[in-house]
Amino acid sequence: MYRKEIKIIDCTIRDGGLMNDWQFEDSFVKAVYDACVQSGVDYMEIGYMSSEKAYSRKDNGKWKFCFDNEVRAVIGDNKDTGLKLSAMADIGRIELNDIPPKSESIIDMIRVACYVTQVDKAIFLAEHCMDKGYEVTINLMAVSKVMERDLDEALADIAKSRVPIFYVVDSFGSMYCEQIEQLCRKYKAALPGKTIGIHAHNNMQLAFSNTITSIIEGCNMLDSTLLGLGRGAGNCHTETLMAFLKNPKYNLRPIFDVIGKQLIPMQEKIEWGYSVPYLITGMLNEHPRSAMEWMDSDQKDEYLKFYNTILDGSPLE
């Protein structure tokens, strides 16, 4: 369980923002940040880097954009904390000139999210960020829907790139440990010398166990969120992962404190975590957007009706 190369990336604000359009109060973000610093978390993903041409500031909070001055106003200059900050960039949602040089930014790492048809664009953006001084990863989303030949071609392109970190991403929370094991081995064989990461969703209640499987298979970048706060069913829990790793550098006390004071009250405002509609989309290897829509309706507990609706392909009522 202890391996010094393992890093925890807490994605509470970035992934959790998918549930409230990143409209977190500054005090909440600061509390999560302070807990990550005090607990020894390696990276905190504080949101997205996005263009205002792609998203409205009226509909999305500041953590959808991560403008440097706004981030610093909330957390300070992040000097000598031991915690690195990351932000995610979606292909087609950011322009090159939206990304400042690392020397002018509080962000340390930019994680480029893409689909398999966008890998060439992801490599270009990631290497552009590297040239500006950032650490980078590429996170290939929805891999459970990708055909083997397409994945092989994508891995061949990644292997030729300068990008040092590549992620196994269970976007729909649909994978079992055998699939995670197979993908980790495939990625490692295709990408010698590169680091492999894991980002798991909890639709099938397997995010934690799949993360453990990835650790066994040599993954060293592990995504998680406090109390699992993330899109739909959420993610592997930071507190559970930290307890499992038994790395003496990690301190669970600040994590438990912020969960009790900040995350539990937030559950009264935002509903996330395992629910049967999320299970249904996970077991069918489908995007959870239909389950999220159902969970926002006045019939959210009519599980059989949702199941039949999804199987029949009928529009949600």
Whether 317 has a pLDDT exceeding 90, the answer reads no
Whether 316 has a pLDDT exceeding 90, the answer reads no
Mean of pLDDT values over 113-128:
98
Mean of pLDDT values over 295-307:
95
Per the CB < 8 A criterion, the answer to whether 34 and 52 are in contact is no
Could you read off the pLDDT of 3-17 as tens digits, one per residue?
899 999 999 999 999
Whether 98 has a pLDDT exceeding 80, the answer reads yes
Could you read off the pLDDT of 225-248 as tens digits, one per residue?
999 999 999 999 999 999 999 999
Express as a percent the part of the chain with pLDDT over 90.
96
What pLDDT is attached to residue 153?
98
Mean of pLDDT values over 158-180:
98
Whether 285 has a pLDDT exceeding 70, the answer reads yes
SS3 per residue for the chain: CCCCCCEEEECHHHHHHHHCCCCCCHHHHHHHHHHHHHHCCCEEEEEECCCCCCCCCCCCCHHHCCCHHHHHHHHCCCCCCCCEEEEEEECCCCCHHHCCCHHHCCCCEEEEEECHHHHHHHHHHHHHHHHCCCEEEEEECCHHHCCHHHHHHHHHHHHHCCCCEEEEEECCCCCCHHHHHHHHHHHHHHCCCCEEEEEEECCCCCHHHHHHHHHHCCCCEEEEEHHHCCCCCCECEHHHHHHHHCCCCCCHHHHHHHHHHHHHHHCCCCCCCCCHHHHHHHHCCCCCHHHHHHHCCCCCCCHHHHHHHHHHCCCCC
What pLDDT is attached to residue 313?
76
